[in-house]
Amino acid sequence: MSLPLISVIITNYNYDKYIIRAIQSVFNQTYTNIELIIINDGSTDNSDELITRMVTKHANVIYVNQENRGISYARNEGLANITGDYFIFLDADNYWSDDYLEKFYHKAICSDADVVYGDLRQLDTKENLVSETNFPTYTLERLLFENFIDISALVKSNIAKEYKFDLNLNKRSHEDWDYWLSLALEKHTFVKCDQNYLNYMIHNQSRNKNTNNTFQKWEGLLETFNYIWNKYQVKYDDVLKENDWAIGHSKLLYTLLADQSQVVKYLTYLKALSNQKITVYYRIENYSEEQKIVFEFNYKDQLSFTIPDGTTEIRVDLTELPSFYTYVTLVDSTNGKIESFNTNGFKEEECFYFVENDPQIYYKVRDYQERVVTLKYSMSDISDVWSEDYPPKVILNRYLRLTEEKKKLVKEKQQIVSNKQQLQARYEQLELEYQQVINSKTWQVRLSFGKLVNWVLRRK
């Protein structure tokens, strides 16, 4: 039995440095039933020559060399040419590992999902690994908050007949997020394929880096996001109201970033942080200014110190300013973790967030034999809204997880109530049957006969 045909669409604009690598990564796939569609969107570099030379060596390739119209037009042109059972996009500056499509296809077959997505392996221009993403499991609420699905996701082709890329987002950004939202709001299914990474290039030509003025960039994003949200407001009002928490926080985020005064405040905050200290207080009987050790503050550090004899607790003061940390851990010489027992901030796993001045974390050390310990910490980069440890994302993840747990508990409670009602009804039925039996004439005769027998036996 032959495998379904997968249509691969590569869109290109002035990526002659990368286009050959992208095409070759498609030809190297272990999944072989592929048609390749290349849309060269009016490139002014050597892309056309390179693509033409490359595709003449291979069959089942469609090459469209069009005048420059923008990414939404290019993607729609690609969709107009597909003949496969599935389709997938690949931006010309990125590339796939050899088994990328095969992993996606197996996940699609096992799950029967309409869209299969994965993670990103972010690389610099020398192809050195910068980071790997760990995108969340799909929920509509999370997708409304942010886009975590790259355009290089596998999609059932029958969807393409109904959905196109919004031309109003052409030459802007986030046309891919809008496309996924249009599918999600119509209840199409999404599933993540774990351990499958798109090799995603970070470079100065990237569309996400083509705005030199940071404020203009965020103002443009806010305008784009408002357009997307407003577009769906009428048709999907009920669904959006159910998820207004995620939408509201996302709007707030980009509204703040588009405000120059907020950015100035952030820069002032960073300057103030550079003069801060980390202070560790020892409690023998009480905390005091005489029983402490002070360290210079860095955004990331490991600080080793010795706990004095007789100390029952220690308190770590992480600067005097509101601050956010990806992790704060206290470990011994064997890297054994000492758990905190109190804080005046918000803790989520190893993350600590302090929204008030004078952040503090407390540790009990009375019964702790190892006296040399190391404090490890790393601040969250609150300027990087795309990072996984960006504070609002961590808080949102906790909210979503608690929401799911609440739903499960509500469902369990409903089942318990239902079981209780069934048992109550069964009890009442048995009680009714019992009363009917003991009040029946037959029961009365048997009861009278039993009393007579007992009387006769006693008489003997």
Domain count within the chain? 4
Q: Tell me whether residue 197 is exposed, middle or buried, using C-beta atoms within 10 angstroms of its C-beta: 0 to 12, 13 to 18, 19 or more.
A: middle
Q: What is the pLDDT of residue 184?
A: 92
- Once rounded to an integer, what is the mean pLDDT over residues 311-327? 88
Instruction: State the Rg of the chain over Cα.
Output: 32
Q: Which residues of 276-306 are buried (b: 16+ CB within 10 A; e: fewer)?
A: bebbbbbbeeeeeeebeeeeebeeeeebeee
Strand order in the sheet with 360-364: 292-296, 277-283, 313-318, 360-364, 340-343
What domain range includes position 68? Answer: 6-210
**Domain-located, residue 397:** no
**Domain-located, residue 79:** yes
More confident residue, 59 or 397: 59
Binned at pLDDT 50, 70 and 90, residue 49 comes out as very high
Q: What is the pLDDT of residue 210?
A: 47
Percent of the chain with pLDDT over 70: 79
> Alpha-carbon dihedral of residues 177, 178, 184, 185, nearest 10 degrees?
150
**Domain-located, residue 43:** yes
Say if CB 151 and CB 76 are below 8 A apart.
no
The tokens of 52 are what? 């033409």
- Residue 257 confidence (pLDDT) above 60: no
Lowest mean pLDDT segment, chosen from 44-53, 96-105, 333-342: 333-342
Clarify whether residues 161 and 222 are in a common domain: no
Q: What is the pLDDT of residue 150?
A: 94
Alpha helix (H) residue ranges in 135-259: 140-145, 175-184, 214-233, 237-242, 244-257
Clarify whether residues 61 and 36 are in a common domain: yes
pLDDT for 438-448, tens place per residue?
Answer: 777 776 666 66
More confident residue, 193 or 436: 193
Q: What is the pLDDT of residue 322?
A: 84
The residues, any chain, with a CB within 8 Å of residue 192's CB and separated by 6 or more, are 116, 117, 118, 135, 136, 137, 138
Clarify whether residues 346 and 438 are in a common domain: no
Clarify whether residues 239 and 359 are in a common domain: no
Length of the chain: 460
- Of the candidates 156, 173, 198, 152, the one whose C-alpha atom is nearest the C-alpha of residue 72 is 173
More confident residue, 306 or 252: 306
Clarify whether residues 173 and 105 are in a common domain: yes
Clarify whether residues 46 and 193 are in a common domain: yes
Residues paired with 280 in a beta bridge: 293, 316
More confident residue, 127 or 403: 127
Domain harbouring 101, CATH code: 3.90.550.10
pLDDT for 355-369, tens place per residue?
Answer: 788 999 999 987 766
Binned at pLDDT 50, 70 and 90, residue 160 comes out as confident
Clarify whether residues 196 and 316 are in a common domain: no
Q: What is the pLDDT of residue 211?
A: 44
Clarify whether residues 150 and 114 are in a common domain: yes
pLDDT for 236-256, tens place per residue?
Answer: 877 766 665 455 555 555 555
- Of the candidates 344, 313, 316, the one whose C-alpha atom is nearest the C-alpha of residue 328 is 316
Clarify whether residues 144 and 168 are in a common domain: yes
Clarify whether residues 420 and 357 are in a common domain: no
**Domain-located, residue 387:** no
**Domain-located, residue 393:** no
Q: What is the pLDDT of residue 214?
A: 47
- Residue 82 confidence (pLDDT) above 50: yes
Average predicted confidence (pLDDT) for the chain: 83
| Cβ atoms < 10 Å from Cβ of 337 | 11
**Domain-located, residue 71:** yes
This prediction has a pTM of: 0.58
Clarify whether residues 349 and 416 are in a common domain: no
**Domain-located, residue 266:** no
Clarify whether residues 370 and 447 are in a common domain: no
